[in-house]
Amino acid sequence: MARIIVVTSGKGGVGKTTTSAAIAMGLAKKGHKTAVIDFDVGLRNLDLIMGCERRVVYDFVNVINGEASLNQALIRDKHCDLLYVLPASQTRDKDALTQEGVGKILDDLSKDFKYIVCDSPAGIEKGAHLAMYFADDAFVITNPEVSSVRDSDRMLGILSSKSRRAEQNLEPIKEYLVLTRYSPERVRLGDMLSVDDVQDILSLHLLGVIPESKSVLSASNSGIPVILDEKSDAGQAYEDIVARYLGEERPHRFIDEKKGLFGKLFGGK
Amino acid sequence: MSTTVTKNPSSPAILEFKSSTFSVPVLVLSGSDVDLIQEQLERKISLAPEFFKNSPVVFDLQLLNKQGLCLDVATLVDILIKFKLLPIGIRGGTSGQVEIANSLHIPVYSIHNNLSQTEPFQQHNKIQTLPEQTGATLNTLINHPVRSGQRIYSAGDLTVAAQVSAGAEILAEGNIHVYGALRGRALAGVQGDINARIFCFDLQADLISIAGNYKISEDLDDNVRNKPVQIYLRENSLIIKDLV
Ligand SMILES: Nc1ncnc2c1ncn2[C@@H]1O[C@H](COP(=O)(O)OP(=O)(O)O)[C@@H](O)[C@H]1O
Ligand SMILES: [Mg+2]
């Protein structure tokens, strides 16, 4: 049985797709067969971030409508054999996704995969709801600002009441906080909430902090999940997150301001 | 689209009935002096005008009728409307009052847990949406955070063994206990129990209320914020006291 992870947030543009691509790649690189699904029907950008946009033949909606088999639609990642992408359709309207259809696809994938990562669209509409409905774990992506934190809080409420696990009275979805686009400088200047502030408001297990980083944009421009950029801070932060999710204990990094050259040479890591 | 409707049994349903529960303030009257009602209503509303503006309200005449006082329902409805409240129900009325309410298209609610309800108006009950609870345990225990957008209603006491987020709302007919930060709205004694209390570990609430007596965040003194407190009612005003 696969473990289904939803990558979610109330707000758009916080880093869901970036995170979905990174952790899916991270899990696959650790030897787990992983599928990552784009639920953002109509926008479709997971395939861009994954660099497989020119290999899309069939999509999620084709499979739901029975126009293609799962095997036909799944795209094997070019960097890692154990990673597959199920792209969203760019042309179809959002109503194409149905709970029944999504459930069937996840069931089928579960037989063969260890992890299924669902990249959720923004908002609390149908697409977002379907992305989280079947989840076992939720990565709640939050930026260190009040509106994003509030949206995440709302999302957590929906996760705990409108999911399959909630409806069937099963063990609740495991919720993890991923704080992205974190800038210690801006926290110091008072422009952003600190890690502690966010944790205090959400009271949620912190899986990791991803720093605001230029490497994210350059990775996405070249269609490579940032986790493969092992030298970058964001790449390392995502690597930490995957390791922690799999049970490893690692200290949090990238929370304090960068040390100068001297500090880098002689201070800790 | 044409306006003539062809009867087509296979056309997709465009309506359905769903059951849901709303929390509506109940105005409990214990006196029948119309001038006094107006005066006190005005004072209450001035405390939180935005909260009350166009708010639906159910009026409860049980206490009044127990004392043998009488009040003309039509007059009361006029007063409520004058204060921009929207009367949507009557509770605990006599058969005469219920009849007037019916003629004004105001639904009749029954008083739950009221065992001696033999009034003929029971037959008029077409709508009953107030939560009806049976059995002894009306108390509710919530073990997880109550998140923004969520609302919890307890027909007895309500205990939240976690935080209540800003934008969340918890309501209880009895006491409220929050073993965490209380950032949302907490309303105790929502059916008029003036002895209900709110206890919390860390007061940061958007709004607190006991039996309809409100304080909003702005009204909270700094010296009661961010610490464990209990909140109770004394002579119609909310008292906030340190718990320890
Ligand atoms: N850690 C980060 N540092 C810098 N930019 C980021 C970071 N995470 C995401 N971004 C940028 O933010 C934008 C939105 O990211 P995306 O993952 O598409 O968000 P979502 O899927 O939540 O809408 C993109 O332009 C992306 O490059
Ligand atoms: Mg996205």
- Every domain of chain B and the residues it spans: 23-118, 132-242
Question: Which range is least confidently modeled, A47-51, B105-109, B154-158, B170-174?
Answer: B105-109
| Contact status, residue A95 vs residue A64, Cβ threshold 8 Å | no
Name the residue at shortest CA distance from atom 8 of ligand 1: A15
Q: Determine whether the interchain pair A203/B163 forms a contact, defined as Cβ–Cβ distance below 8 Å.
A: yes
Question: Which ipTM was obtained for this model?
Answer: 0.80
A160 touches chain B (CB under 8 A): yes
Within 13 Å and on the Cβ side, how many CA atoms surround A105? 32
pLDDT at position B189, please? 95
* Structural class in CATH, domain B23-118: alpha beta
Average pLDDT on B142-156 reads 93
Query: Which ligand 1 atom sits closest to the C-alpha of A141?
Result: 22
pLDDT at position A266, please? 52
Angle of the A99-112 helix axis to the A126-133 helix axis, nearest 10: 30
Q: Determine whether the interchain pair A157/B147 forms a contact, defined as Cβ–Cβ distance below 8 Å.
A: yes
- CATH 2.160.20.70 assigned to domain B132-242? The reply is yes
Q: Determine whether the interchain pair B167/A150 forms a contact, defined as Cβ–Cβ distance below 8 Å.
A: yes
Question: Which range is least confidently modeled, A229-233, B100-104, B114-118?
Answer: B114-118
pLDDT at position B7, please? 58
Shortest distance between the Cα of A151 and any Cα of chain B, in A, equals: 8
A94-149 pLDDT tens trace:
678 899 999 999 999 999 999 999 999 988 888 899 999 999 999 999 999 999 99
**Phi, psi for residue B81 in degrees, rounded to 5:** -65, -40
Residue A55, number of CB atoms within 10 A of its CB = 13
Residues of B in contact with A157 (CB under 8 A): 146-150, 165, 168
Q: Determine whether the interchain pair A153/B148 forms a contact, defined as Cβ–Cβ distance below 8 Å.
A: yes
Cα A91 to ligand 1 centroid, rounded to whole Å: 23
Q: Give the pLDDT band of residue B48 (cuts 50, 70, 90).
A: confident
Find the ligand nearest to A237 CA.
Answer: 1
Name the residue at shortest CA distance from atom 25 of ligand 1: A217
Average pLDDT on B107-118 reads 55
Query: Which ligand 1 atom sits closest to the C-alpha of A11?
Result: 22
pLDDT at position B201, please? 96
Mean confidence (pLDDT) of chain B: 83
A236-252 pLDDT tens trace:
999 999 999 999 999 99
pLDDT at residue A163 greater than cutoff 90: yes
Output the six-digit token pair for A214: 């230029």
pLDDT at position A55, please? 92
Name the residue at shortest CA distance from atom 23 of ligand 1: A13
Mean confidence (pLDDT) of chain A: 92
pLDDT at position B129, please? 37
Cα B4 to ligand 1 centroid, rounded to whole Å: 51
Q: Give the pLDDT band of residue B121 (cuts 50, 70, 90).
A: very low
Output the six-digit token pair for A175: 């919720």
pLDDT at residue B10 greater than cutoff 60: yes
Average pLDDT on A61-82 reads 95
pLDDT at residue B136 greater than cutoff 50: no
Report helix, strand and coil shares of chain A as percent, to nearest 5: 45, 15, 40
Question: Which range is least confidently modeled, B41-45, B118-122, B211-215?
Answer: B118-122
A2-12 pLDDT tens trace:
999 999 998 88
Q: Give the pLDDT band of residue A261 (cuts 50, 70, 90).
A: low
Q: Determine whether the interchain pair B147/A153 forms a contact, defined as Cβ–Cβ distance below 8 Å.
A: yes
Q: Give the pLDDT band of residue A269 (cuts 50, 70, 90).
A: very low
pLDDT at residue B131 greater than cutoff 60: no
| Contact status, residue A40 vs residue A46, Cβ threshold 8 Å | yes
pLDDT at residue A264 greater than cutoff 90: no
pLDDT at position A229, please? 97
pLDDT at residue A49 greater than cutoff 50: yes
Average pLDDT on A53-72 reads 93
| Contact status, residue A29 vs residue A107, Cβ threshold 8 Å | no
Pocket test for ligand 1, best of A39, A185, A216 (most atoms within 8 A of CB): A216
A174-199 pLDDT tens trace:
999 999 999 999 999 999 999 999 99
Interface of B with A (CB under 8 A): 144-150, 162-163, 165-168, 180-181, 183
Shortest distance between the Cα of A201 and any Cα of chain B, in A, equals: 7
B178-232 pLDDT tens trace:
999 999 999 999 999 999 999 999 999 999 999 999 999 999 999 999 999 999 9
What CA–CA distance (Å, rounded) separates A50 from B7? Answer: 52
Residues of B in contact with A161 (CB under 8 A): 150
- Partnered with residue B160 across adjacent β-strands are B142, B178
Q: Give the pLDDT band of residue B108 (cuts 50, 70, 90).
A: confident
Q: Give the pLDDT band of residue B19 (cuts 50, 70, 90).
A: low
Question: Which range is least confidently modeled, A24-33, A93-102, A139-148, A210-219?
Answer: A93-102
Pocket test for ligand 1, best of A18, A142, A148 (most atoms within 8 A of CB): A18
What CA–CA distance (Å, rounded) separates A235 from A227? Answer: 4
What CA–CA distance (Å, rounded) separates A174 from A148? Answer: 20
Exposure of A81 by Cβ count < 10 A (0-12 exposed, 13-18 middle, 19+ buried)?
exposed
pLDDT at residue B160 greater than cutoff 60: yes
Q: Give the pLDDT band of residue B54 (cuts 50, 70, 90).
A: confident
Neighbours of ion ligand 2 (CB under 5 A): A 16-17
pLDDT cut 90: percent of chain A above it: 83
Cα A44 to ligand 2 centroid, rounded to whole Å: 8
A153 touches chain B (CB under 8 A): yes
Indicate the SS3 state at residue A205. strand
Q: Determine whether the interchain pair A154/B149 forms a contact, defined as Cβ–Cβ distance below 8 Å.
A: yes
- DSSP assignment, residue A107? H
Residues of B in contact with A201 (CB under 8 A): 165-166, 183
Of A154, A160, A172, Cβ closest to residue B167: A154
B60-99 pLDDT tens trace:
998 888 888 889 999 999 999 999 999 999 998 888 899 9
pLDDT at position B118, please? 33
Q: Determine whether the interchain pair A150/B149 forms a contact, defined as Cβ–Cβ distance below 8 Å.
A: no
Ligand 1 pocket, residues with Cβ under 6 angstroms: A 9, 12-18, 122, 180-181, 210, 212-213, 216-217, 220, 234
Q: Determine whether the interchain pair A154/B147 forms a contact, defined as Cβ–Cβ distance below 8 Å.
A: yes
